[in-house]
Homo-oligomer: A and B are copies of this chain.
């Protein structure tokens, strides 16, 4: 199997899955390691996530810890936790030791205390203690994003010492282009040294003589503030110090970019009413999590439907209305969700803030009037032609026109209002919007129909 290329076509992949299973059943460690290493980390992870949990655990146990750790680094957070959690704690600890400290901290943070303590107990004491500290920071702060491995030197060391370390190990790549940070004997951050100044100086020069005032952040610094800082400075890393000025870690530009991607994904998942679900999770868990999102929808739907219930007489008289109720509801929902989408985007880009409520409302009213008229006329013509009744067209068209205006106004502003009250707009905007536009849409269609009843039934 060693001639297996990295770019398999579909057929080879099926064979590959079977061969992997065979090697697993035979507990052939060498063969398994070779097979997994022959794949890109993404493809290897895909194979692992297609496996039954018991097979996955067996594979992770048999792989060398470095290879297993590569899979964990590639996995989305919730899968990484599941993969580690279900392993024997000795094996898990060995794999954990091979991970970046920020991945380690994410895993410890997402596990229950009991499970993580079993693994931490098997790890080197100092590293475990560090991890316990690191896992207490909020994941979207500098503390949660930082790595503990700072590229740091004592104030009395020389340029030669830094160059020696750069030569001796793979510090530069491992530290993702960090500058050397200079600390005193208590670990307090005193400054930072540029590569340029080091290269310009003799090896005997003391770091104390060429250090610059560093830009540093506290562990509580928010992800947004970090994005701003990295936008304004070209650095690849920013040191994190505690309240006493002690250097405790470094946030890298790359780690931050990855965190931004995760945040965008989280928002997108919340808008789609799912959490961080993966199909490799147990069915019952997936059902329960989806039902948790859906249960609020049932209640909101009942509220919206009660509007229809109040107009049963009108409906009974003009049954054709029932055809257009879901259409008006769906079209207004779509219009409103477009406005929600633009607001969510502008909020995340920092182009809109809750104080811009009236600016947004004014802008949405403009679009709402135009789109309301266009969509109203279109659906009005459809209703008129379909049911051969001009007044039906008028009722449905007017209702959709007005409801489009309502939908975009609410859709544009509701994320700002929710954000202002500290509610996650990605989670709540959609369901709230849909309920209001459904109620308003049903009310408009049915009350206009009641008003025009003589013309409609003639």
Which residues of A pack against B, CB within 8 Å?
A: 10, 13-14, 40-43, 45-46, 49-50, 74, 76, 163, 166-167, 170, 172-174, 176-177, 194-196, 199-200, 227-228, 231-232, 234-236, 253-254, 257-258, 260-261, 264-265, 267-269, 271-274, 277-280, 283-284, 286-287, 290-291, 293-294, 297-298, 301-302, 304-305, 308-309, 312, 315-316, 319-320, 322-327, 329-331, 334-335, 337-338, 340-342, 345-346, 349-353, 355-356, 359-360, 363, 366-367, 370-371, 374-375, 378-379, 382, 386, 434, 438, 442
The contact sample of 25 A-B pairs, CB cut-off 8 A, is: A10-B355, A41-B232, A42-B350, A46-B350, A46-B353, A50-B356, A50-B359, A170-B234, A173-B235, A265-B345, A267-B268, A268-B341, A277-B345, A278-B351, A287-B370, A294-B375, A297-B334, A301-B326, A301-B327, A305-B323, A305-B327, A308-B323, A315-B319, A322-B325, A325-B326
How many copies altogether? 2
* A279 CB contact (under 8 Å) in B254, B273, B346, B375: B346
* A231 CB contact (under 8 Å) in B74, B76, B264, B379: B74
Chain B neighbourhood of A254, CB < 8 A: 253-254, 257
- Is the CB–CB distance between A49 and B325 below 8 Å? no
Compute how far the CA of A14 lies from the CA of B227 in the bound complex, rounded to whole angstroms.
Answer: 24
- Is the CB–CB distance between A290 and B174 below 8 Å? no
CB A222 to nearest CB in B, in angstroms, measures 12
Chain B neighbourhood of A277, CB < 8 A: 338, 342, 345
Compute how far the CA of A349 lies from the CA of B45 in the bound complex, rounded to whole angstroms.
Answer: 10
- Is the CB–CB distance between B49 and A351 below 8 Å? yes
* A228 CB contact (under 8 Å) in B14, B41, B338: B41
- Is the CB–CB distance between A236 and B176 below 8 Å? yes
The 5 closest A-B pairs by CB, nearest first: A272-B341, A257-B257, A177-B177, A173-B234, A283-B366
Compute how far the CA of A326 lies from the CA of B307 in the bound complex, rounded to whole angstroms.
Answer: 12
- Is the CB–CB distance between A371 and B290 below 8 Å? yes
Chain B neighbourhood of A174, CB < 8 A: 234
Q: Which residue of B lies closest to A285 (CB)?
A: B367
CB A254 to nearest CB in B, in angstroms, measures 6
Compute how far the CA of A267 lies from the CA of B49 in the bound complex, rounded to whole angstroms.
Answer: 23
- Is the CB–CB distance between B326 and A40 below 8 Å? no
